[in-house]
């Protein structure tokens, strides 16, 4: 039998099956925690850091990613404090700087309240969310993609650098990649990168209902769990 | 590449994924680098996905995917060695051998590598010549080390 625990997210009492993540529990209850690297049915690795929340314990709180945090009885979670909003905006800014040519990333940045990008654009076309890698290895068990190298040289690659013949060509890596849709105005050239920010109108609802999922379209690009 | 020596390395370790790093270390010792074919064999024999073998081989500095030279010169570019002038050492080698860090000379004699701190900061700048640490290095001493290798090489080919 499934065991349930009760926790508090942003003041509301939430019941969730043991073993689920705080992020999944929140999404189920319509609480919006922006997330990007999370794919339902795959394990979470906490790569994008967008889903950070405050976990209040014994009077103090620490910030962790909610996708890798398992629910516990009596947990107190805050998803929308000033501190979290600020940190999240900063993270989203870094993501846009890393990969401005992704509509999904541009959208999520708008959702996180990014108004300007204070970092130099690196335009690397990959934010290392690991969605392709996990889909390939966990869902298909094809083991065709992986993170190679470390530090600033870490990147996604094939074994030995070439596409092996055991790749089934399923295309899921591209499908799940947040880079596969370019911004509406087309790819930005080097030196011309900017924050798109044209979808800000979508925020009018979420501004009046902070923390609640208003089914905005800003999560479509990476199959936000509410669109699945 | 001889399969027999690879067999020796793999002996008693087949189907044991946790032996991956040890096996790669032995292969590195055996050939001086990790050939692509060896990685494929290891993946098959240990039951580890090839991507995993490749990932591990790329992750650690101790493994090299390209054949390395007879003499591996490792320059410490850590903070302490940097302020004590390790950039001068690098310039010296790059000028003398005309190779970039991570590369090997065409004659297969030298490989240049950089590391971040070898843990002997007080003795910096440090270089390691085939794993032997040389302390308080100067461009002059370095030039001599490299020159000596060429001299011995020449003598050997004279007598041999
Ligand atoms: S969704 Fe949790 S870190 Fe990306
Ligand atoms: S910085 Fe060179 S040994 Fe520490």
CATH 1.10.10 corresponds to the domain B3-59:
yes
Place of tokens 């007879």: B70
Average pLDDT of the residues in A39-59: 93
Percent of chain A residues past pLDDT 90, beyond the cut: 62
Average pLDDT of the residues in B111-123: 90
Q: Which B residues, 53 through 82, put their C-beta within 8 Å of a C-beta on chain A?
A: 53-55, 58-59
Confidence grade of residue A225 (pLDDT, cut at 50, 70, 90): low
Name the residue among B36, B39, B51 with its Cβ closest to that of A146.
B51
Examine domains B3-59 and B71-159 and report if their fold is the same.
no
For residue A157, the model assigns a pLDDT of 94
DSSP string, B72-117: EEEEE-SHHHHHTTHHHHHHHHHHHH---TT-B-TTS-EEEEEES-
Cβ atoms A7, A74 nearer than 8 A: yes
For residue B76, the model assigns a pLDDT of 93
State both tokens at A26: 């929140």
Cβ atoms A7, A25 nearer than 8 A: yes
B78 lines ligand 2 (CB under 6 A): yes
Q: Do B49 and A143 touch (CB under 8 A)?
A: yes
For residue B38, the model assigns a pLDDT of 93
CA nearest neighbour of B49 among B57, B37, B40 = B40
Q: Domain B71-159 falls in which CATH fold?
A: Glutaredoxin (3.40.30)
Of A27, A48, A129, A176, the one to substitute when testing ligand 1's pocket (max ligand atoms within 8 A of C-beta) is: A48
Which residues are bridge partners to A146 per DSSP? Answer: A157
Phi/psi of residue B37, each to 5°? -65, -40
For residue A211, the model assigns a pLDDT of 77
Q: What is the mean pLDDT of chain A?
A: 90
For residue B2, the model assigns a pLDDT of 63
Alpha-carbon gap, residue A185 to B23, rounded angstroms: 51
pTM of the model: 0.81
Q: pLDDT tens-digit profile of B130-143?
A: 888 999 999 999 99
| Helical H segments across A75-227, by residue range | 82-98, 103-111, 131-134, 172-175, 203-208
Confidence grade of residue A5 (pLDDT, cut at 50, 70, 90): very high
Which residues, 6 or more positions from A103, have their beta carbon under 8 angstroms from its beta carbon? A181, A182, A183, A184, A196, A221
Cβ atoms A125, A132 nearer than 8 A: no
Q: pLDDT tens-digit profile of B46-100?
A: 999 999 999 999 999 889 898 888 899 999 999 999 999 999 999 999 998 999 9
Cβ atoms A48, A95 nearer than 8 A: yes
Confidence grade of residue A219 (pLDDT, cut at 50, 70, 90): confident
Q: pLDDT tens-digit profile of A125-170?
A: 999 999 999 999 999 999 999 999 988 889 999 999 999 999 989 9
For residue A85, the model assigns a pLDDT of 93
pLDDT at residue A62 greater than cutoff 60: yes
For residue B70, the model assigns a pLDDT of 86
Of B90, B126, B135, the one to substitute when testing ligand 2's pocket (max ligand atoms within 8 A of C-beta) is: B126
CA distance B51 to chain A (A): 5
B123 lines ligand 2 (CB under 6 A): no
Alpha-carbon gap, residue A57 to A211, rounded angstroms: 21
- In chain A, the residue whose alpha carbon lies closest to the alpha carbon of B37 is A160
Q: Do A147 and B55 touch (CB under 8 A)?
A: yes
Alpha-carbon gap, residue A61 to A84, rounded angstroms: 11
**Domain spans, chain B:** 3-59, 71-159
pLDDT at residue A227 greater than cutoff 60: no
Alpha-carbon gap, residue B149 to A28, rounded angstroms: 69
Residues of A in contact with B47 (CB under 8 A): none
Q: How many C-beta atoms surround the C-beta of residue B55 within 10 A?
A: 18
Name the residue among A149, A150, A159 with its Cβ closest to that of B51.
A159
CA nearest neighbour of A62 among A36, A31, A86, A83 = A83
pLDDT at residue A72 greater than cutoff 90: yes
């Amino acid at each position: 039998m499934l065991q349930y625990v009760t926790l508090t997210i942003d003041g509301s009492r939430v019941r969730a099956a043991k073993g689920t993540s705080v992020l999944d529990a929140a999404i189920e209850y319509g609480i919006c925690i922006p997330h990007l690297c999370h794919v339902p049915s795959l394990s979470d690795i906490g790569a994008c850091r967008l889903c950070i929340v405050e976990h209040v314990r014994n009077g103090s709180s620490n910030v962790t990613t909610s996708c890798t945090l398992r629910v516990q009885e009596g947990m107190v979670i805050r998803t929308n404090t000033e501190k979290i909003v600020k940190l999240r905006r900063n993270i989203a800014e870094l993501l846009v700087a890393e990969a401005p040519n992704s509509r999904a990333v541009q959208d999520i940045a708008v959702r996180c309240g990014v108004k300007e990008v204070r970092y130099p654009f690196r335009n690397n076309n990959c934010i290392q969310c690991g969605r392709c890698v996990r889909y390939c290895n966990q869902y298909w068990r094809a083991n065709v993609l992986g993170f190679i190298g470390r530090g600033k040289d870490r990147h996604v690659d094939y074994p030995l650098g070439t596409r092996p013949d055991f790749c089934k060509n399923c295309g899921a890596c591209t499908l799940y990649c947040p880079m596969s849709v370019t911004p509406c105005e087309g790819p930005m050239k080097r030196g011309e990168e900017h924050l798109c920010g044209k979808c800000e109108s979508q925020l009018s609802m979420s501004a009046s209902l902070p923390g609640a999922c208003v089914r905005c379209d800003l999560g479509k690009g990476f199959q936000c769990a509410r669109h699945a | 590449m001889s399969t027999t020596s690879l067999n020796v390395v793999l002996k008693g370790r087949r189907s044991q994924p946790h032996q991956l790093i040890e096996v790669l270390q032995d292969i590195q010792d055996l050939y001086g680098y990790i050939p692509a074919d060896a990685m494929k064999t290891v993946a098959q024999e240990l039951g580890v996905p090839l991507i995993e073998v490749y990932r591990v081989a790329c992750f650690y500095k101790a493994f090299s995917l390209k054949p390395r030279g007879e003499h591996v010169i490792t320059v410490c570019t850590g903070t302490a060695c940097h302020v004590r002038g390790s950039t001068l050492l690098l310039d010296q080698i790059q000028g003398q051998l005309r190779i970039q860090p991570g590369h090997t000379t065409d004659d297969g004699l030298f490989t240049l590598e950089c590391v971040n701190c070898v843990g002997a900061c007080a003795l910096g700048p440090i270089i390691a010549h085939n794993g032997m640490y040389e302390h308080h290095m100067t461009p002059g001493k370095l030039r001599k080390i490299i020159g000596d290798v060429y001299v011995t090489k020449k003598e050997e080919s004279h007598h041999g």
